[in-house]
Structure 1
């Protein structure tokens, strides 16, 4: 007898189930993850500040758009809502993204930290997200990972420093100022 897998214990869901649910959920490999409770005030403040910084550095790049959480439908059984993201493509529809963002920020909370650090780390790496930024609001540190040869390499830990995202379609981007997100 083989070891039990998560798939053997929990029910499996698809996008058709997901679109009928109340509240905020994510679906990863058919497993439903509640996004409750709602984010804290500090979480929302940091997310707003990240959005402001991203909009500022991408304002002169007509190819890319910074946005807050939106559905990214990776497959019929995997739909995620990153806290902040940058896309450099025109979405096929207004309901959800189907192509990988180039930058994703996830802000850790007690209810999402394990998933953000493991499941989403592996998922975003596999899906080709160029930059994954994991923001710890308690320590006021953001870990930035860059995808190189299909694997995330840590670019650094940032609190008050600046970082320049390198995006093919946007040559002259300003640096992202991490001191402004806290």
Structure 2
């Protein structure tokens, strides 16, 4: 018996019936447990809030938080934060967002840096942001000619994000969890 016969391949229709938090990547289920930690939640919440304020006057772009993105009949991902610059068809996101941001944790680093990097590139996501709260660092990639090119590493600088209808000046210094300083 071949190894491929032992691997099950699931569809988005089956995924919708599952309990718990899952992603489905090219037919393979990926558990999303345990839930994100405090630094993860803090960082993704601050990113969402900045994007939400920045897009308040843009009628073409919307920021969304932890929503399923259905790329194919066998692939559904739940990124931390996305920006869409189109009107969704119905109540689901079924095409590539303009921007996806993932907050990287030790348990997701390989998936975020490799698997999702390739998936988002192949699906035509214009910007991919990887945020590392423990390092107070964000890597920004932009899709150019079908491949991701690194825009840069950002810590406390301002990072411009050029969307089709507007530009966001993301203040990276406001993203990271604040740690108390030693008072001497």
Question: Is TM more than 0.5 here?
Answer: yes
Give unmatched runs, 5+ long, in structure 2.
177-184
TM-score (norm 1): 0.92
Find the partner of 1:70 among 67, 71, 76: 67
Which whole-Å CA distance do the structure 2 matches of 1:10 and 1:38 have between them? 27
Q: Please name the residue that 1:164 is paired with.
A: 160
Q: Is 1:23 equivalent to 2:20 in the alignment?
A: yes
Q: Please name the residue that 1:40 is paired with.
A: 37
Q: Is 1:178 equivalent to 2:172 in the alignment?
A: yes
Q: Please name the residue that 2:118 is paired with.
A: 122
Highest CA radius of gyration, 1 or 2?
Answer: 2
Aligned residue pair count: 176
Which whole-Å CA distance do the structure 2 matches of 1:8 and 1:138 have between them? 41
Q: Please name the residue that 2:148 is paired with.
A: 152
**What SS is found at the alignment partner of 1:124?**
helix
Which whole-Å CA distance do the structure 1 matches of 2:13 and 2:63 have between them? 27
Once the two structures are TM-superposed, the CA of residue 9 in structure 1 deviates from its matched residue by 4.5
Once the two structures are TM-superposed, the CA of residue 50 in structure 1 deviates from its matched residue by 0.3
- 1:22-48 residue CA offsets vs partner (Å, 9 max, x unmatched): 111000110000000100011011110
TM-score (norm 2): 0.91
Which whole-Å CA distance do the structure 2 matches of 1:164 and 1:8 have between them? 47
- 1:38-92 residue CA offsets vs partner (Å, 9 max, x unmatched): 0001101111000011112111111000111111111110000110010011111
Q: Is 1:58 equivalent to 2:52 in the alignment?
A: no
Is the Cα–Cα contact under 8 Å of residues 85 and 164 in structure 2 kept in the other structure? no
Runs of 4+ in 1 over 6 A off after TM superposition: none
